[in-house]
Amino acid sequence: MQNSTTNQRQEGTTTPRTAEHARLALAPAGRPGEWKALGPYVSERAWGTVREDYSADGKAWEYFPHDHARSRAYRWNEDGLAGICDIGQRMCLALALWNGRDPFLKERIFGLTNHEGNHGEDAKEYWWYVDATPTSSWLRWRYHYPQAEFPYARLREENARRGKRTASSS
């Protein structure tokens, strides 16, 4: 006899239907277990957030812009491309990409600060979380990284030229 979640044996015990169900069953109640100890817990962009604000005037974005992110240590969190970490964020792993044209390795999503953007903080890239299992045994992420030099300066200049009410006509 079979139902939607388990295969029934004659002796009355149940076995998980899939490998993912078996991994989920390994975790004790209320605890992450081995398969939930790692997961997609790393933000794409943590730079300039209030958690990392050590400015004298409370202006986190101006104090910690994207340009500083690659050369400063974070105290309260990390960020990265397709980053994974342990549940306490003591170990973080993320991609570093380079298209051969940018002046530095691509390690985090580029964005404009509230001060630089024409409508507040604004990520200027394309990425998607495509698929994942509850235990993170399978994670699928998609990112579009240009093969030409990434237009960091041009994005800043164009957003500085526009006002908050300016239409996007060029």
Instruction: Evaluate if pTM is beyond 0.75.
Output: no
> Which of the four pLDDT bands, split at 50, 70 and 90, describes residue 3?
very low
Q: Which residues contact 118 (CB under 8 A, 6 or more apart)?
A: 159, 162, 163, 164, 166
CB atoms within 10 A of CB 143: 15
Structure tokens at 99: 């298209």
Confidence of residue 7 (pLDDT cuts 50, 70, 90): very low
Q: What is the pLDDT of residues 25-35, one digit of tens each?
A: 877 766 666 77
Q: Please report which confidence band the pLDDT of residue 136 belongs to, taking 50, 70 and 90 as the band edges.
A: confident
Which range (59-63, 132-136, 158-162) has the least confidence? 59-63
pLDDT in tens, 81-109: 999 998 888 888 999 999 999 999 999 88
Tokens of 106: 């691509």
pLDDT at 1: 41
Phi and psi (nearest 5°) for 117?
-80, 160
Domain chopping of the chain, boundaries:
33-161
Cα–Cα distance for residue pair 139/20, rounded to 1 Å: 13
Residue-averaged pLDDT of the chain: 80
The answer, yes or no, to whether residue 40 has pLDDT greater than 90, is no
| 15 vs 44: CA distance, rounded Å | 38
The answer to whether the beta carbons of residues 19 and 25 sit under 8 Å apart is no
